[in-house]
Amino acid sequence: MPGANAAGTGEDLLVIGINHRTSPPELGDRFGLIEADLDAALDELKSRGLRDAVLLATCDRIELLSRDRLAAEFFAPVVAARLGVGAGVIEAALYRHDGAAALRHLCAVASALDSQVLGEPQVLGQLRVAHRAAVEQGLVGDELEGALDTAYAAARRVRRETKIAQGPVSLAAAALSLARDIHGDLTERAALLIGPSEMGELMAEQFRRAGLTRLVVCGPEQRARRAAQLLSSNVVPFEELETAVAAADIVIASFGNGRAILTKAGVATALRKRPLKPIFVIDAAIPSDCEPGINDLDGAFLYGLGDLERAAMAGRAEREAASVAAWAIIDAEIAAHAARQSERRAVPAVVALRRHVESLRDQALAEGGDAEAVTHRLINRLLHDPSEVLRQLAGSADDIAAMEQLLRRLFRLGGEEKRQE
């Protein structure tokens, strides 16, 4: 993680966990067991005596954020039992961050700088869910709340001030981004899935999640019906392909039988049946399903897997470039957090000083006299203890110099710059 020694402090904050990088692949498939039963896992941790903690569980990480030193003791056995493995398996995959490093890691997680897909938006919502669950169980104290607030502030700024989430990073995401460029809002658009292959189904599912409601599948009957069931869509007989293409705003061709399913002439016919309505064609088949000449048609936009891969690579590069600015934002938020912590630590001393001065004033007033006498009496008493301490420190040149500099700063006496020279 860049800049691990950045300024800022997380006090006694601890993050202990496992994620997609540290755990064996077969273990990652089970992470969802804890995510689906988060309250029960928190109950178990709480019953063991853990206090002041948030348990974050997603498809690629399980982490315990805490200020309780018992967190390190409880994490592995609780997670192991719920994932159905030995505690040694979890312990071998553990990572741990303390203090400032823990706060920085938390900010990175919230800002999706530590995710499998850089900049993905889901993790911030998952962190908020974990936070709420812990609050409901009375497990979040003021200090932990402050650390989470800092993470949320960093995540908001990273989203607002960088392009960390803008470029597509997968073939399906690239296809979705291009479809939006051509058609805008996809909720009222119609899509046709031909074949389909696994890649075609993946892309169709991505469109579904993006709000597309009208999807039909066309292909060999058994293959098409299975895909339609998975995607909650309808089936069109292969004999009606020409009509289905004309009705579609988006065509995902993923048959891959070695010949062109979509020809230039066939798409030209479809376009004449839908004037001024473009067709976005995704050739997701290997070998190709589409004649290259389709791209020469006015109103047709053909993209193959190579085109989508280039778009995804550009998106990944853009996100990587944005991550530099994102880390700088995180460092700034951690520095602000450290300043707030320092200010809070100074409050009790300031309150005690004010009470002391008020007490001396009350004593001076109670002894009577005119304003000048009371004022002189109060000044003498205010300066008595500091003067005594200065005399006691006079034997040490370093201590007296530091104390004098502090006094000049506290009371804005001037001359501090000269002394520092």
What is residue 271's predicted lDDT score, i.e. its pLDDT? 96
* pLDDT tens per residue, range 325-341: 999 999 999 998 888 77
CB 2 within 8 A of CB 95: no
Query: Alpha-carbon distance 407 to 244, whole Å?
Result: 83
**Least confident among 23-27, 271-275, 343-347:** 343-347
What is residue 3's predicted lDDT score, i.e. its pLDDT? 40
Which DSSP string do the residues of 254-292 spell out, in sequence order? ---SSS-SB-HHHHHHHHHTSTT--EEEEE--SS--B-G
Helix spans in 29-111 (H) = 31-35, 38-47, 71-83, 87-93, 100-110
Nearest to 194 by CA among 271, 283, 299, 258: 283
Strands (DSSP E) along 110-207, which ranges?
190-194
Nearest to 261 by CA among 297, 219, 290, 224: 290
**Least confident among 5-14, 201-210, 301-310, 382-391:** 5-14
Query: Alpha-carbon distance 154 to 278, whole Å?
Result: 41
Average pLDDT (184-195) is 94
pLDDT-derived band at 11 (thresholds 50, 70, 90) equals low
pTM above 0.85, yes or no: no
What is the share, in percent, of the chain residues with pLDDT greater than 90?
55
pLDDT-derived band at 9 (thresholds 50, 70, 90) equals very low
CB 130 within 8 A of CB 55: yes
What CA dihedral angle connects 297, 300, 303 and 307, to 10 degrees? 70
Higher pLDDT, 232 or 347: 232
Q: Is the pLDDT of residue 120 over 90?
A: no
What is residue 350's predicted lDDT score, i.e. its pLDDT? 66
Helix spans in 303-420 (H) = 305-366, 371-392, 397-410, 416-420
What is residue 371's predicted lDDT score, i.e. its pLDDT? 84
Q: Is the pLDDT of residue 251 over 60?
A: yes
Average pLDDT (387-413) is 71
Paired tokens of 45:
């941790």
Q: Is the pLDDT of residue 402 over 80?
A: no
Task: Spell out a b/e string for 57-78, using b for 16 or more CB atoms within 10 Å of the CB, else e.
Answer: bbebbbbbbbbbebbeebbbeb
Paired tokens of 197:
């292959």
Identify the three-state secondary structure at position 19. strand
The total number of residues shown for the chain amounts to 421
Query: Alpha-carbon distance 35 to 6, whole Å?
Result: 32
Q: Is the pLDDT of residue 46 over 70?
A: yes
What pairing do the DSSP bridges indicate for beta strands 53-57 and 61-66? antiparallel
What is residue 345's predicted lDDT score, i.e. its pLDDT? 66
Query: Alpha-carbon distance 31 to 27, whole Å?
Result: 7
Q: Is the pLDDT of residue 6 over 50?
A: no
What is residue 54's predicted lDDT score, i.e. its pLDDT? 96
Average pLDDT (160-173) is 81
pLDDT-derived band at 368 (thresholds 50, 70, 90) equals confident
**Least confident among 1-10, 276-285, 337-346, 373-382:** 1-10
Q: Is the pLDDT of residue 236 over 60?
A: yes
What is residue 418's predicted lDDT score, i.e. its pLDDT? 47
What is residue 10's predicted lDDT score, i.e. its pLDDT? 41
Where do the domains of the chain lie, and which CATH numbers do they carry? 14-166+320-338 (3.30.460.30), 171-298 (3.40.50.720), 347-420 (no CATH)
What is residue 5's predicted lDDT score, i.e. its pLDDT? 35
Q: Is the pLDDT of residue 217 over 50?
A: yes
What is residue 420's predicted lDDT score, i.e. its pLDDT? 47
Task: Spell out a b/e string for 342-356, using b for 16 or more CB atoms within 10 Å of the CB, else e.
Answer: eeeeeeeeeeeeeee
Task: Spell out a b/e string for 301-322, using b for 16 or more CB atoms within 10 Å of the CB, else e.
Answer: bbbbbebbeebbeebbebbeeb
* pLDDT tens per residue, range 75-96: 999 999 999 999 999 999 999 9
CA triplet 5, 7, 9: central angle to 5 degrees?
95
Query: Alpha-carbon distance 3 to 337, whole Å?
Result: 17
Q: Is the pLDDT of residue 118 over 90?
A: no
Query: Alpha-carbon distance 62 to 31, whole Å?
Result: 7
CB 227 within 8 A of CB 203: no
Catalytic residues: 59
Average pLDDT (333-353) is 75
What is residue 347's predicted lDDT score, i.e. its pLDDT? 62
Q: Which residue is listed with tokens 């004033």?
A: 361
Q: Sheet containing 300-304: give its strands across.
A: 234-236, 214-218, 190-194, 250-253, 279-283, 300-304
pLDDT-derived band at 361 (thresholds 50, 70, 90) equals confident
Neighbours of 87 (CB within 10 A): 14
Q: Is the pLDDT of residue 365 over 50?
A: yes
What is the share, in percent, of the chain residues with pLDDT greater than 70?
91
CB 71 within 8 A of CB 53: yes
**Least confident among 68-72, 246-250, 404-408:** 404-408
What is residue 8's predicted lDDT score, i.e. its pLDDT? 36
Average pLDDT, the chain: 86
